[in-house]
Structure 1
Amino acid sequence: MTVFDLVVLGGGTGNIVASAAADAGLDVAIVERGRLGGTCLNRGCNPSKKLIHRADVVETVRNASAYGIDATLDDVPFADVVAEVNATVAEEAESKAERAREHDGVTFYQAAGRFVDERTVEVRTGGEWGDDSNETITGDDVVLAGGSRPLIPDSIDGADEASFLTSDEALRLDELPDRLVVVGGGYIAVEMGHFFGQMGATVVIVGHGDVLADREDHDVAERLTEAYRRKHELHLGHEVTALADDDGETVVTAESEDGDELEVRGDEVLVATGRRPNSDLWNVEAAGLETNEKGFVATDECLETSVDGVWAIGDIADNFMFKHSGDKEAEYVVENVVRDARTPVEFPGMAHAVFGSPQIGSLGKTESDLGDRAYDVGEFEYDETALGSALASDAGYAKALVAPDDEVLGFHVVGPHASMLVHEVSTAVAAGGDAERIAETIHVHPALSEVVQGAFRDARDVAPSGF
């Protein structure tokens, strides 16, 4: 058995911890079955947002006539676009691997691993699990950053036989489908629907909620849904019950709450029904790690698990499933493991975005979350600002949720650049600012950030505008 100061399981957010620990002089092992960089770099946010940016450019050209500009789009080289993005991602991942291999303090196992005891891991460097040719390693501390994978609901009959894509495969298609059916209505469905639609596919979305992105604030989700309804075929309020192959197509069967059955077909089907933690793949039971009913590894406020010296971060832990939250958790684990602190993790101003068209930016509570709690609502339309009105008549909308004592409870925006606009509020909240401070901060005119100010001024009834 090989002994290390620190064993890091997973090369996504865990890579941050491994690098810092090795730089601090610890003897570190990284175990990653795929490429370094994890889901985000290789199969998630990085390639998807690079592809989505191309879709945004295509959409801009398609809509140029609305601004009096004569522009044509003769062709979109789908295969070339996908190949270029994936080549860039692969190059970045390999660069990370080379740096890890060259670091004197790091042993990089590019292989599958699983727990066989509390802080002991079998690395599949040889044959099958349990082979003597495999290597067993242990660490004084172990950081589990084992990530997540697409969730395929057991309730879908035929899913083990029918042909379909997950987000992993959809990002690597070398041929544009004529008709893509997306199963699910969350952020992956929204983002991939936008990408494939602008690339030229007919997109059909079948989701169980009454709106797309139904975990977002309802007013924001409704606006997103109406925008998608104008561009795509939506079948909402339907639970997918079965998948089947038929004559080169995949047949999707779904049912509404009233029992009405729906059948749609696509030459490709993308199942985008969420993600599940990889705790089972890492065999966490053998280490004695407690998990919740969904399989997420339980941690305390310092991100230590139920086993001393074993820590969990990123998608596999029961916190946020965002890359930026995972990176923040990695920073805390560096403090607590490498520097021997006991600092509780905090997520001040935690925001997220959905990179569809339109975009969504969101922070804090939605109105549904707040229930009977006392709060004020501030609303503002993009077209109430000079720059916003130049975008489109229905370009976007912002909503601020504010407590009577001026605490920012939530902020939600849908429209162009929403993923950037939300950061003004995120920064203010993280710095201890309140709603009145945001409302009274001098904003550049005519920048789009006036939309943010407008929502908070409306919430605080301090919006002088002249005649």
Structure 2
Amino acid sequence: MSEYDIIVLGGGTGNAVANASVDAGLDTALVERGRLGGTCLNRGCNPTKKLIHRADVAESIRHADELGIDASVDGVEFAAIVDDVIKTVTEAAEEKARRARNRSGLTFYQAEGRFVGPHTVEVDNNNGPRGERFTAEKIVLAGGSRPMVPDSIDGTDETPYLTSDEALRLDALPDRLVVVGGGYIAVELSHFFSQMGSDVTIVGHGDVLADREDAAIAERLTEAYREKHELHLGFEATAIADEDGERIVTAESEGGEEIDVRGDRLLIATGRKPNSDVWNVSAAGIETDGKGFVETDEYLRTSVEGVYAMGDIAGNYMFKHSGDKEAKYVVENAIRGNERSVEYPGMAHAIFGSPQVASLGRAEDDLDEDTDYEVGTCAYDDTALGAALRDQGGFAKAIVGNDGEVLGCHVVGPEASTMIHEVSTAVAAGADAEQIAETIHVHPAISEVVQGAFRDVCDVAPAGL
């Protein structure tokens, strides 16, 4: 049985750990069943946002007449668009694999792998059902997550459906798409397919879309989507069926109302689940929580000595950027022998729908009853450039503690994913709300929307009448 200094399980963000390990002179094994780059490069962030950019362009053209510009979308080359995006990310993944295979000090196993003991991993090969086994004193589990399809939905074994994995690689545009789910994946892909030309119907169990966001933000997002899509919110999907090629979703409200929704294709976008079962972590004695996420301490150590976990499978945050941050701590702790507790200064996230949503910190509804805070808001229309953009009722919301601490910032509207970073940077640098409000902003930049929210809560008014 081969022995390595360190084994990295998962070739998404884990790829960075493997490279750092080799740089440190450690004999390293990297195991990844699919293409290197993981979910983000192959099935998530990268292809999704490349496709959504096309949707954003199409939507802007469709609304050009509101700005006095005569333009129209006369056709969408859907198959060519998807092919171009998938080709780009596939080439990037294959280049990563080429470099991994040629890297001295790194053994790349592009195969199914699993724990068979606390520090022993088995990978499949072409010589039979049992594969090669190898071991290491230190193992980094960066095993990712996959789309979750609820067991409570009947008919999933008999009825064809899409998850986000397949939806990003369709070669033909559905005329009518039914989306089950109301979170960020449902919001983003509904925007993409509708702007490509599909009629989209969304069935979600929450009363609003993206119901984990601040309530005011989620309500505005839902209002915008109701104008463009058929929404059935407050309904739990109970069954799916296929009737002569037509997909049927049966859903029921909490009050017992039942509906049937029909479409040509069905996308189930009800969240993601950790791959802890796929990697057979129980064989290693690695503890997981009730949802299957690997439990880690502040140093990203699991319950098994010498085994670390990071990224989606650990469940601290399920973002690529948080996984990248965790990778730096794993390199420090597992490879360099330091003990640095993981921190997420200024952690933010975004939903690339239409309108965009971005968030940092806590939502107002999540604050404790005894928290002393104030709220400031600023509408896009209250700023010079924001007013020139197509009105989507967008705004920024700042939540500030009585000591000036930024408790939360939430934005819904154009370029929200970019604007949140000025708050993220400020929080990471230890700035308070008044410093954000008083920071000189370029005029008339769209970032004045965020500044306006902090000016409002800090009672820092611009000069003039």
Deviations for 1:397-455, whole angstroms, at most 9, x for unmatched residues?
00000000000000000000000000000000000000010011111100001011100
Asked whether the 8 Å contact 1:177–1:201 carries over to 2, the reply is: yes
CA distance in structure 2 between the partners assigned to 1:128 and 1:236 by the alignment: 49
Paired residues of 1:303 and 1:311 also in contact (CA < 8 A): yes
Q: Deviations over 1:268-314 (max 9, x none)?
A: 00000000000000000000000000000001100010000000000
For structure 2, list consecutive stretches of 5 or more residues without a partner in the other structure. Answer: none
Note if 1:186 corresponds to 2:197: no
Which residue of structure 2 aligns with residue 164 of structure 1?
Answer: 161
In structure 2, the partner of 1:466 is 464
CA distance in 1, matches of 2:413, 2:368: 26
Matched, 1:88 2:88: yes
Counterpart of 1:426 in structure 2: which amino acid?
Answer: S
Q: Is the 8 A contact 1:388 1:395 kept in 2?
A: no
Among 132, 135, 138, the residue aligned to 2:135: 138
**Corresponding residue of 2:228:** 231
| Matched position secondary structure for 1:383 | helix
Structure 1 residue 395: Cα displacement = 4.4
Aligned to 1:173: 170
2:369 is the counterpart of 1:334? no
The residue that corresponds to 2:443 in the other structure is 445
C-alpha change, 1:366 and 1:127, in structure 2 (3 Å) is farther
Percent identity, please.
Answer: 69
Give the structure 2 partner of residue 408 of structure 1.
406
Aligned pairs for 1:59-208 within 5 A: 59-126=59-126, 129=129, 131=130, 134-208=131-205
* Partners of 2:296 and 2:309 within 8 A in 1: yes
- Correspondent of 2:357 among 360, 377, 381: 360
Shift of 1:128: 5.7
User: Which residue is equivalent to 1:8?
Assistant: 8
Paired with 2:199 and 2:342, the residues of 1 have a C-alpha distance of: 44
**Partner Cα distance (1:314, 1:188) in 2:** 18
Q: Normalised by the size of structure 1, how large is the TM-score?
A: 0.98
**How many angstroms does 1:465 deviate by?**
4.2
Question: Following the alignment from structure 1 to structure 2, what is the Cα–Cα distance between the partners of residues 69 and 464?
Answer: 33
Matched residues in 2 for 1:249 and 1:393: separation? 37
CA contact (8 A) 1:383 1:394 kept: no
Which consecutive unaligned segments of at least 5 residues does structure 1 have? none
Does the CA contact (< 8 Å) of 2:153 and 2:237 recur in 1?
A: yes
Task: Confirm or deny: 8 A CA contact 1:299 1:318 kept in the other structure.
Answer: no
AA in 2 matched with 1:374: D
Counterpart Cα distance in 2 of 1:125 and 1:340:
33
Q: Closer, same or farther in 2 for the Cα pair 1:128/1:312, shift >3 Å?
A: farther
Asked if structure 2 preserves the Cα contact closer than 8 Å seen for 1:148 and 1:278, the reply is yes
Shift in Å, 1:55: 0.5
Paired with 1:395 and 1:102, the residues of 2 have a C-alpha distance of 52
How far apart, CA to CA, are the structure 2 residues paired with 1:187 and 1:143? Answer: 28
> Whole-Å Cα distance in 1 between the matches of residues 96 and 443 of structure 2?
42
User: Residue 203 of structure 2 contacts residue 235 of structure 2 at CA under 8 Å; is this kept in 1?
Assistant: yes
How far the C-alpha of 1:396 sits from its partner, in A, is: 1.1
Q: Calculate the aligned-residue CA RMSD, in Å.
A: 0.8
Secondary structure at the counterpart of residue 276 of structure 2: coil
In the alignment, what sits opposite 1:346? 343
Q: Output aligned runs, 1:187-336, within 5 Å.
A: 187-336=184-333
- Which of 430, 441, 464 is the equivalent residue of 1:432? 430
The 3-state SS of whatever aligns with 1:124 is strand
Distance in 2 of aligned mates of 1:214 and 1:196: 21
Asked if the contact 2:58/2:195 (under 8 Å) is kept, the reply is yes
- Compute the displacement of 1:394 (Å): 3.5
1:464 CA displacement: 3.2
Aligned-pair distance for 1:126?
3.1
Separation in structure 1 between the aligned mates of residue 289 and residue 157 of structure 2, nearest angstrom: 26
1:466 Cα deviation after fit:
1.9
| Kept after mapping to 2: 8 A contact 1:315/1:321 | yes
- After superposing on structure 2, the runs of 4+ consecutive aligned residues of structure 1 that deviate more than 2 Å are 126-129, 392-395
CA contact (8 A) 2:217 2:412 kept: yes
